Structure 1
Amino acid sequence: MNIKQLITAALIASAAFATQAAPQKPVSAAQTAQHSAVWIDVRSEQEFSEGHLHNAVNIPVDQIVRRIYEAAPDKDTPVNLYCRSGRRAEAALQELKKAGYTNVANHGGYEDLLKKGMK
């Protein structure tokens, strides 16, 4: 092997090691969903003020159809709903589906989301 081939091999080997990504911290599915969709807390304003997910918008369930455009004007936007137990979120989900929203999910209760790593 001549010097040129040796240098080329060394450069290729060093490039392979240099491009390896640093280990990444695992991200839960719930955390991924939190950053790629609209989160709506359908509890009352009082409940929302006592604690809510960081990027959540408060639209009480009885106002969901009237105010959904504030958070998700596009009916294909991923919309994640939660409340205290999941019951009001389910009612909101049904209303949004009737209104033509196609990508809506009920994520249950606020405390359960916190236990899953949501913030």
Structure 2
Amino acid sequence: MSSCSPKQAIFASLAEVAQALGHHHRLELLEHLGQGERSVEDLSARAKLNFANTSRHLQILRRARLVETRRNGKRVLYSLAGDVEVVSLMHALGRVGERNIAEVGRVMTDFFHARDALEPVARTELLTRLQAGLVTVLDVRPEDEFAQGHVAGALNIPIDELERRLKELPRRREIIAYCRGPYCIFSFEAVAELRTRGYLVRRLEDGYPEWKAAGLPVEVSDREPAISIRS
């Protein structure tokens, strides 16, 4: 009989999960999978990794039960193994890092806060204002990510198209921008650009995966857009 106590057995399994999170490429892959299921080839292009490395990282995540797979013809598609739990785990990791790791705090101050020092909009506040018709919600992720799921009622203008599509945005109503998550630069770039042009704009506190994990209203597009890749 094993001498390992129930508590030790649980901690051993949790340590495997923690070890799987212990690489920045795997954290980025989880962020991409938070937008929707992806093939290895797609994830490789988005994370700018070669196929072999992407596959290896995904296998580690799969062994830790952080991702799961399904077959679609000859393709293997990966997705998060429990959106709510994995997104919550990533959120908790970020909060601990921001509080306790000096380098994380420095990057947040020098890069993110320098582009947007205003307090972001909480999810509950956005939901209330969206239902009252008081704001325009702007999703600045690529079109194919928007198609897989987005905040209900959001307008999609990918960050690369923002400058030429400014006329689609209201001048007299507040705009709330969001993207892939709390460390995705797209919404910060959008807010900075729109403010220089006189728009009233703020950011959502995090991104689409957190909104979905909170059980808030989401929509899926009917049409299949061309895949657009930007990290």
TM-score (norm 2): 0.36
Whole-Å separation in 1 of the counterparts to 2:125 and 2:196: 27
- 1:118 alignment partner in structure 2: 216
Which of 148, 153, 159 is the aligned partner of 1:61?
159
- 2:127 alignment partner in structure 1: 31
Number of matched pairs:
89
The DSSP-based 3-state class of the residue aligned with 2:150 is coil
1:95: how far off? 0.4
- CA contact under 8 A between 1:30 and 1:118: conserved in structure 2? no
Whole-Å separation in 1 of the counterparts to 2:161 and 2:198: 16
1:77 and 2:173 correspond: yes
Q: CA RMSD in A?
A: 1.6
1:31: how far off? 1.3
Q: Which has the higher contact order (CA 8 A, sep 6+)?
A: 1
Deviates more, 1:107-116 or 1:52-61: 107-116
- CA contact under 8 A between 1:79 and 1:104: conserved in structure 2? yes
The DSSP-based 3-state class of the residue aligned with 1:66 is helix
Q: Deviations over 1:55-97 (max 9, x none)?
A: 011100111132132132x2x3110101102420111000001
1:98 and 2:196 correspond: yes
Give 5+ residue unaligned stretches, structure 1. 1-27
Whole-Å separation in 2 of the counterparts to 1:116 and 1:87: 22
1:116: how far off? 4.2
Q: Percent identity?
A: 33
Return the index of the structure with the highest Cα Rg: 1
The DSSP-based 3-state class of the residue aligned with 2:162 is helix
TM-score (norm 1): 0.66
1:46 and 2:144 correspond: yes
Off by >6 Å, runs of 4+ in structure 1: none
